Amino acid sequence: MDEQFIDNPLEQETETYSYPEGQFKKEVTPKTGINQETQIKQVVTDKELEGILSKQKATIKVIGTGGAGNNTINRISEVGVTGADIVAINTDAQDLLYTTADKKILIGKETTKGMGAGSIPKIGEEAARESEREIKEAIMGADMVFITCGLGGGTGTGSAPIVAEVAKKAGALTVGIVTLPFGMEGQRRYDNAMYGLERLESIVDTLIVIPNDKLLELAPDLPLQTSFRVADEILTNAVKGIAELVTKAGLINLDFADIRTVMNNGGVALIGLGESDTTDRAVEAVEKAITNPLLDVDIGGATGALINVTGGPDMSLEEARKVVETISEKIDPEARLIWGAQIMEDLQNTIRVMLIVTGVKSSQIFGPGSGVSEKRKKDIEDELGIEFVD
């Protein structure tokens, strides 16, 4: 803007104008005629700040599909995940009726008549295709979508990849969190799981895998029903631990861009959990997380790591730093590492570490080879009317 001067020294010109940085006023002094710019103080109310923050807040949706997925949704609804919408999907009307969620979708009303998929993934997939519009509506507007299910059955195994496709097309960061069946559940269920795992891995940004057989190493004497509940608890902790790093105020917070940095195209991921209330609790908790049977892999080859450190009001920032430092020393210096720290009142004298490593190669998931022989693949394709992705 050109400088303006006045002839009459007794007059003073004042003009207000705007720049991207804010509002300014230009004054011409009576004595010198020199322009002076001073920024007008910007007054903003808490309500206005809340409005700005609400627009910046990431929209997170947690979707559980199939019987096992709905069991996890029940647990997630029970403990609550700050700032997340909970969606339950199923082909079984009765199971869906007793699931607690913000939104429920009975998929494949024509395909299954609300009676389930009969442990056949192809039926679960067809049901999801039939109800794709309802799935799109449920996902609409999401920045991040978690998809949880137990692989090996019909509904979860068949529908989860379709839900993932919809989420990816909608532009959401898509994270699958799934369990693999116990060995005792039989070869057919294992083969179904490998089929679903392969399809999901090719679609989602990051796929967190929890092999149920590894739970037996954590607690070999647990009854089978309790083991399934432990799996639900781990799935719930994973969803809650990641989501609330963004949505819940903490000691050290992350923004959505941080999460996307590590989990976008993160590939297969494993989770390790550790907790300690000893005098050297920070180091012990992280060592337990790293050596956790669920994280049965050399983390040195990971491409990324996400760390959530949780403790009681007595946890210090130095302890949180020690956790992160210990992990950073064990992974590739080029790996992307992000971390957050939160306070929980009920964790008095305790530190809990959740470690998710991405881009890992694990024989416990895929086996020494592909996990399913070519002959067995052909048998499955013939029996179930499916086609493995090469």
Cα–Cα distance for residue pair 159/147, rounded to 1 Å: 10
Which residues are annotated as part of the binding site? 67-71, 154-156, 185, 189, 232
Which residues are annotated as part of the binding site for GTP? 67-71, 154-156, 185, 189, 232
Per-residue b or e along 178-198, where b marks 16 or more CB atoms closer than 10 Å to that residue's CB: bbbbbeebeeebbbbbbbbbb
- φ, ψ at 375 (rounded to 5°): -65, -45
Three-class secondary structure of residue 176 per DSSP: strand
Cβ pair 155, 163 in contact under 8 A: no
352 bridge partner residues: 275, 310
For the chain, the C-alpha Rg in angstroms (whole number) is 26
Which of 175, 154, 156, 151 minimizes the C-alpha distance to 164? 175
Per-residue b or e along 233-250, where b marks 16 or more CB atoms closer than 10 Å to that residue's CB: ebbbbbbbbbbbbbbeeb
Q: Which residues contact 119 (CB under 8 A, 6 or more apart)?
A: 153, 154, 188, 189, 192
Cα–Cα distance for residue pair 64/92, rounded to 1 Å: 13
Which of 85, 153, 78 minimizes the C-alpha distance to 123? 153
Read off the DSSP letter of residue 196: H
Angle of helix 224-247 relative to helix 256-263, nearest 10 degrees, comes to 130
Cβ pair 114, 91 in contact under 8 A: yes
Cα–Cα distance for residue pair 390/371, rounded to 1 Å: 13
307 bridge partner residues: 339, 355
